Structure 1
């Protein structure tokens, strides 16, 4: 029986079932087993409802709640893809605006800059577009400023009103690493720095 193929007395199926909820698995995560055998176990666990296939070769172990099965967030899934590729990622465009609360509009597709290669992953019913970004996008120490640069670029200067300024002000005030924040703001494009720098003194 395929399920009896085990290492150290534990079958692959048992190992996957024992993984914590919210885990993200790749078909390539188990090189000690033949790839077709891994595929058959993943398919079997998907049929049994233990796993959900979220993209080609990518599976998630959903969290059980009183509302039913809850999949890991798109951001967590993309972080896992980036980690497997040994790359950094950064939400961009509408995805960055949404992440910071500067837009409540749910993006049709998710866009990220990456230090890895360009690729598009079909994630359930949406596309996740990974686009290779220039190194300066990844030069900031704080995640806040990294995201804010991408969000403001998508929003554009002429569309920034009092509501957006208030949201940015709140985000800046909550950033714990003030020293890194000040350094990062100085590295922002000039028009963005003019908006954010006065908020550091509040």
Structure 2
């Protein structure tokens, strides 16, 4: 229970997160006892959380990102939000998808949590660019929205990505489809261009 608490309320985990403490059978029994005692919550078979509790609504549903990351840890794989979820994360869409899709280099898995679905879809390396990073989210949002909204993606990403995120994007751009590369490069270069303009202004002043 102490280990479960370290992630704070809302953390999600699988038995694999505790296998450094005991064998699988012992971990399964301990988690089962804690769930039956109400200290943890069993979401589905092999997936638990330490839920956030609303004073009026009671235990809240876990965040899909937390669920996806827990599933990825179980198989020692990487995961990246994709599709409508990626666009929503960047503020490029107000749509809150019922099906939250993630790309992974691990096995595919589908978890139903009430009305929400978390779907991990196995993807080849060429589709899993900069997984688990803000740069990867930009690539997936651009893939979802398409060339027609590339300018919108560039505008938002240029403002939201840190310098290190842009550097990662510049490194990863070569792996993206040809139609994406100019947009990704323009995002990656936006900080450098702005910096040059600011320096030029200071010199002129």
Q: When the two structures are superposed, what TM-score results if normalisation uses the length of structure 2?
A: 0.72
Deviation of the 1:42 alpha carbon: 3.5
CA distance in 1, matches of 2:177, 2:24: 50
CA distance in 2, matches of 1:73, 1:155: 23
2:47 match: 58
Structure 1 residue ranges without an equivalent (≥5): 1-13
Cα deviations across residues 106-141 of structure 1 (Å, max 9, x unaligned)? Answer: 111111111111221223432211111011233438
Residue of 111, 121, 140 corresponding to 2:130: 140
2:203 corresponds to: none
In the comparison of the two structures, how many residue pairs are matched?
A: 186
In the TM superposition, residue 82 of structure 1 has moved relative to its aligned partner by 0.5
**Residue 192 of structure 1 is aligned with which of 155, 175, 180?**
180
Are 2:107 and 1:117 equivalent residues in the alignment?
yes
Q: Structure 2 stretches of 5 or more lacking a match?
A: 195-205
Provide the alpha-carbon RMSD of the alignment: 3.2
* Residues 126, 176 of structure 2: 8 Å contact kept: no
- Name 1:21's counterpart in structure 2: 8
The residue that corresponds to 2:34 in the other structure is: 45
How do 1:50-89 and structure 2 match up within 5 A?
A: 50-63=39-52, 69-70=59-60, 72-89=62-79
Which residue number in structure 2 is paired with residue 170 of structure 1?
159
Q: State the distance in 1 between where 2:22 and 2:131 align.
A: 37
Which residue pairs with 1:183 in the alignment?
171
**1:115–1:133: 8 Å Cα contact kept in structure 2?**
yes
SS at match of 1:176: helix
Q: TM-score, normalised by structure 1?
A: 0.73
Structure 1 range deviating more: 124-133 or 60-69: 60-69
The whole-number CA distance in structure 1 between the counterparts of 2:145 and 2:174 is: 20
Mapped to 1, the partners of 2:165 and 2:152 lie a distance apart of 24
